Amino acid sequence: MPDPIAPAAPRYIKLNPADNVAVVASDFGLPAGTVFPCGLTLLDRVPQGHKVALTDIPAGTAVRRYGAVIGTAKQDLPRGAWVSEAKLAMPEAPALDALPRGNPPAPLPPLDGYTFQGFRNPDGSVGTRNVLAVSTSVQCVAGTVEFALERVRRELLPRYPNVDGVVALTHTYGCGVAIDAPDAIVPIRTLQNLARNPNFGGQAMVVGLGCEKLIPERLLGPGAPPTDVMRLQDAAFEGFGPMVDAIYAMCEARLDILNRRTRETCPASDLVIGLQCGGSDAFSGMTANPALGFAADLLVRAGATVMFSEVTEVRDAIHLLTARAADGTVADALVREMAWYDAYLARGGADRSANTTPGNKAGGLSNIVEKALGSIVKSGTAPIVEVLAPGERPTRKGMIFAATPASDFICGTLQLASGIGLQVFTTGRGTPYGLAAAPVIKVATNSVLARRWHDLIDFDAGGIATGAATIEETGWNLFRLILDTASGHTKPWSDRWGITNALALFNPAPVT
């Protein structure tokens, strides 16, 4: 441990021997004239997380980080200069027709003996919490459902101590949409699979209006009993009160069943964990994401299902992912999802450069290439065994790419549909993000954020940047926190405060 009293020596982090830039690690950045222990002198003030040239980089030559080209110098960058976003030209995305493949890494060695306390379901899946979910087929019913659920929470929930909560799966879909358009499968499949999330214990129910395009039965699938569906326009309801009473009664019947669920010891291989980042900074790829990648490898070794997502944040590093595809089918599916998203963005007159935010850039990330290289580190090193189209459910255990937009809320919603019981979320800039359906562990990339947001951030990976901790020990600690949180022993801050974000469906099809 460094002496907390002594002034810290100025510090930068160079990730790969081939890099000609490094990232300033010192809290709050460093002024011009700072001399590093190696003799490098800063020519400009460089904010924390931003890049400094380690050698003279002539205009028109490559700037390298992570051992990869993140851009071309637009002007001469002398040794010690701040390499800011404005001084870099972004490279082209890798072409999809000539990607490396066919030589996947060997499977990781098994890791035995790790368990958690989960809620086992009749279909074999295991939940990390015990929640009653009320599906809705259309936005028209959302206010009524929330009104009824407020009463359920107030009057009924205290009588069912084994149930953690009641959530309404509300959304803006269901009517006023081109329901037969090819891409309508995405929001419809998402709503179908959301209701099957293992945290909901298989107790589905749907509230519909009656005249909407998306009929409630379509969400439940064939064979669902009629008692699982109600429609507000049903002639039996004389006004608002009886509608609320009916929702209340449907909830009561399901709470009775859910209250019989209790936690039991389950192998870690029953876990389904989602990985995401949001509000990234230059430390994301050096601290939180590598630690999460290490933890993801431990989860995969323990037999768990782990999914990473966010197409626009992997697109520029896709050559590194096809090289990890377990077989040709997986590589083809990775290319399919990238090509689909390229076309989707082009249709909207945008490209992948639309991803980086002002906050990313203020945090030191110059462009989407640099962001992608730091983003995929969270997927660890295991072979990629399956690729899911948005909202699909996995059929394999191991590391999976679940295609989603990078939007935090849409990615969270789609990963819930794909069956995650818990999400790990890395952030450099900070966000109070949370999900009602599953615990979210928020990991800070830097200790400045972790200290300032001491009652929102669950785990500080910033010690890796200061040299106070290693990636390995931080990864092990995160792995243990994941098991503890899945067991309900540790509650993430967003759950303690009860702050959650609304579900957000991905609807690439037209709205009418």
The contact set with Ca ion (CB under 5 A) reads 278, 406, 408
Q: Which is nearer to Ca ion, 278 or 363 (CB)?
A: 278
Query: For residues 235 and 14, what is the distance between their CA atoms, to the nearest angstrom?
Result: 69
Strands 12-13 and 229-231: unpaired
- CB closer to Ca ion, 212 vs 313: 313
Between 165 and 390, name the residue whose CB sits nearer to Ca ion: 390
Q: How far apart are CA 251 and CA 243, in angstroms?
A: 13
Residue 503, amino acid: L
- Stretch (H or E) spanning 116: strand 115-120
Task: Indicate the residue among 53 and 317 with the shorter CB distance to Ca ion.
Answer: 317
The nearest distance, CB 312 to Ca ion, in angstroms, is 9
**Helix or strand (DSSP H, E) at 426:** strand 422-427
Strand partners, 83: 51
Closest CB 277 distance from Ca ion, rounded Å: 6
Residue from 467, 476, 390, 485 nearest 189 by CA? 390
Query: In the complex, what is the shortest distance from the CB of residue 412 to Ca ion, in angstroms, rounded to a whole number?
Result: 8
Q: Residue 19 CB, nearest distance to Ca ion (Å)?
A: 26
Element (H, E) at 88: strand 88-89
Q: How far is the C-alpha of 396 from the C-alpha of 121, rounded, in Å?
A: 18
Q: In the bound complex, which residue of the shown chain has the CB atom lying closest to Ca ion?
A: 278
Residues in the chain: 512
CB of 96 to Ca ion, least distance (A): 23
Longest alpha-carbon distance in the chain: 82
Q: Which is nearer to Ca ion, 311 or 326 (CB)?
A: 311
Q: How far is the CB of 307 from Ca ion (least distance, A)?
A: 13
CB of 411 to Ca ion, least distance (A): 5
C-beta of 309: minimal distance to Ca ion in Å?
8
Query: What letter would DSSP give residue 233?
Result: T
Residue 45's CB is within 10 A of a number of other CB atoms, namely: 14
- Tell me the closest approach of the beta carbon of residue 175 to Ca ion, in angstroms: 28
Q: How far is the CB of 408 from Ca ion (least distance, A)?
A: 4
Minimum CB distance to Ca ion smaller for 278 or for 398? 278
Nearer to Ca ion, 410 or 469 (CB): 410
Question: 423 has which bridge partners?
Answer: 274, 440
State the Rg of the chain over Cα: 24
Pick between residue 243 and residue 411 the one whose CB is nearest to Ca ion. 411
108: exposed, middle or buried (C-beta count within 10 Å: 0-12, 13-18, 19+)? Answer: middle
Amino acid at 341: Y
CB atoms within 10 A of CB 221: 11
Of 43 and 502, nearer to Ca ion (C-beta) is 502
Report the C-alpha gap between 512 and 495 in whole angstroms: 37
**CB within 8 A of 475, min separation 6: which ones?**
290, 291, 292, 293, 294, 295, 297, 298
> Based on CB atoms, which residue is closest to Ca ion, 381 or 501?
501
Tell me how crowded residue 277 is: count the other CB atoms within 10 A of its CB.
Answer: 31
φ, ψ of residue 282 to 5 degrees: the values are -65, -20
Min CB(410)–Ca ion separation in Å: 8
Beta carbon nearer to Ca ion, 136 or 312: 312
Looking at the Cβ atoms of 173 and 433, the one nearer to Ca ion is 433
Q: How far is CA 286 from CA 72, 130, 426, in A?
A: 22, 35, 12
Torsion angle of the four alpha carbons 17, 19, 21, 23, in this order, in degrees rounded to the nearest 10 = -60
Return the number of the residue (253 or 350) whose C-beta is nearest Ca ion. 350
42: number of CA atoms within 13 Å, CB side? Answer: 25
Residue 44 C-beta: closest distance to Ca ion, Å = 31
Q: CB of 505 within 8 A of CB of 410?
A: yes
Closest CA to 287 of 364, 358, 361: 364
Shortest distance (Å) from residue 311 CB to Ca ion = 11
Residue 305: closest CA among 314, 296, 313: 296
